[in-house]
Structure 1
Amino acid sequence: MADTAPQAFSPLSGHIGPVGGPHHAGVVLREVAGLSLINLRGDAEKAFAGHVETVLGVALPTAPNTAACTEGLSLLWLGPDEWLAVSEDGDSPALCARLEEAMSRVHHAVVDLSDNYAVIELSGHAARWVLAKGWPQDLHPSAFKPGQCSQGLLGLAQIVLEQTAEDAYRLFVRPSFAAYLWDWLVDASADVGVRVAPPDAPT
């Protein structure tokens, strides 16, 4: 019998357009595919935090709008008892199982959201300037820098924004808004030039 297992499908498939663009472009856009995205809920003051650190290898960030990062994994603060784990291993069922096993005696919630977000990376020397066209919060380096994250509306799309480097950001958006957000970023980048990088390729 032929293999009929469902195949992963990106909400940006067929929408991004041709890869390439001016080498001197102020902005580089790419889709980041294959991430494990896991929502964690629990009490940061109790055993929950210790179990999360044991499994993921990074301590829960407890300051609002901060991210704790290690190689291949980030933990984004979403609220006093809520975090988003972003792992590059791509095996979210296995990671969820490890978390559930470790926290079996602790009040918690572990939800796989890997199919519930599209992830777009925005980088380049004009990336902050482009975001500022639609982001309601202060993006000046003194107010928002690598190791920080936030939630809000960019254009009409609700996103989670993570700054991963001085000139690089990840935008987590619901699949139904992914194409809209991509087009918004392309349009907002028209003044500085935009280059499209292959998914998961270095920028």
Structure 2
Amino acid sequence: MTLVRRFGDWGIRDTELLGMLAHTARGNPGELATAATVAAARLGADPAPALDVLARRLEDDWRCLEEAGLLGPTAAPLLPLVEGFLADDHAWTRLYAAEAHWRITGDRSTAVPILTDLAEAFPLPALETLLAIGPPHPARLRPHLEHWATTDRRVLPDDDIFAPPTELPPDTRLRSAATRMLA
């Protein structure tokens, strides 16, 4: 699934690749189909199939919020569904909903307070999204940022075994994000 998502990131516009993504979407259920239709839409295919799949899944499944966010403003018709997750009981769901909302609307006013509230519990994803949103960064995070930027101690556990591999360990990424936010 990670590779299918990356096709959308890479922006390779190729007819054969779009055909392969369409075939993957038709032949697989759930998350893989969602990732394939979203990647195809990001590469210039008709976004309607991706919006249809996401609309069905977002009715009760937060796990495709990231995919909705990847569509950016194209996902505007999904905004009411995304907004429904902003007050969810689960912190991870709120985190993904806040990021998706910002990516769809470009409006920081909804996402920044939620990400700020979640920064202590989920510092790395919250900070990386706040960095993507850009300054001004919330002043109330400054003491945490100073700690995270300078600590020699481990703050975060090792990456989830199901997460895509990264080049840098989580604590290094956290220190870097905190340092950039302080600059």
TM more than 0.5: no
Write 1 or 2 for the structure with the bigger share of strand: 1
Band the TM-score falls in, shorter-chain normalisation: under 0.3
TM-score (ref. length: structure 1)? 0.25
Bigger RCO of structures 1 and 2 (CA < 8 A, at least 6 apart)? 1
Write 1 or 2 for the structure with the bigger share of helix: 2
TM-score (ref. length: structure 2)? 0.27
